[in-house]
């Protein structure tokens, strides 16, 4: 089971990109699960319009949400990303996409809003960068690190999705 993280700061567009990736990979015939990090102690999973609901609508077969206080599996205790991923294994998934968990060591896409978000490039496992706005310093740093960088709209957004599909899909 492969893991891919989508990371960024609040309101960077993580959920939107993750749902697009879920949809693309599911269309390729992959069994996809998702894990969402929630920074709040309370959340309402699978309520219309919430991120976990959107993940399911995009085609995720399994979704977990974790906060500092609980998980969507209602275990009554918080779970680490590794524990959540282990919990996904019985479902026979091909890939699990995670939203958040910035410091986890898995391959990841970093969503950068401005040059101020450059620290995201130095997280472990960054494969690619999605730029929400022109960010010359981030682009230069990404190039220096050998990271693929894509703008967040139009053909470049699709190129990012295709980049991920080529890495994870069985064709």
Could you tell me the domains of the chain?
Answer: 2-168 (3.40.50.300)
**Cα(38)–Cα(17) distance, rounded to whole angstroms?**
17
**Cα(45)–Cα(108) distance, rounded to whole angstroms?**
24
Average pLDDT for 149-158: 94
**What's the mean per-residue pLDDT of the chain?**
88
Place of tokens 């190039």: 143
pLDDT digits (tens, 9 = 90+) for 23-80: 999 999 999 999 887 665 665 666 788 877 788 788 887 777 777 876 665 444 677 8
Contact 88, 33 (CB under 8 A): yes
Question: What DSSP state is assigned to residue 128?
Answer: E
Predicted pLDDT at 155:
95
Lowest mean pLDDT among 3-7, 44-48, 135-139, 161-165: 44-48
- Sorted by sequence, the CB contacts under 8 Å of residue 122 that are 6+ apart come out as none
**Cα(59)–Cα(65) distance, rounded to whole angstroms?**
16
Average pLDDT for 143-163: 95
Place of tokens 């101020």: 116
Helices (H), the chain: 14-27, 51-58, 81-88, 136-145, 154-168
**Cα(84)–Cα(105) distance, rounded to whole angstroms?**
14
pLDDT at 104 over 80: yes
Beta bridge partners of 129: 110, 149
pLDDT at 157 over 90: yes
């Amino acid at each position: 089971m492969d893991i891919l993280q989508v990371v960024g700061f609040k309101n960077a567009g993580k959920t939107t990109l993750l749902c697009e990736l879920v949809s693309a990979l599911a269309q390729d015939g992959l069994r996809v699960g998702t894990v969402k990090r929630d920074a709040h102690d309370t959340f309402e999973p699978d309520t219309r319009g919430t991120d976990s609901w959107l993940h399911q609508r995009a085609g995720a077969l399994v979704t977990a949400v974790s906060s500092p206080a609980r998980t969507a599996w209602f275990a009554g205790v918080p779970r680490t990303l590794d524990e959540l991923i282990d919990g996904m294994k019985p479902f026979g998934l091909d890939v699990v996409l995670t939203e958040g968990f910035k410091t986890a060591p898995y391959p990841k896409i970093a969503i950068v809003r401005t040059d101020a978000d450059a620290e995201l490039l130095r997280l472990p496992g960054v494969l690619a960068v999605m730029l929400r706005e022109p960010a010359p310093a981030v682009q230069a740093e990404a190039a220096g690190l050998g990271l693929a960088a894509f703008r967040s709209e139009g053909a470049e957004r699709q190129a990012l999705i295709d980049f991920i599909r080529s890495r994870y899909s069985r064709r």
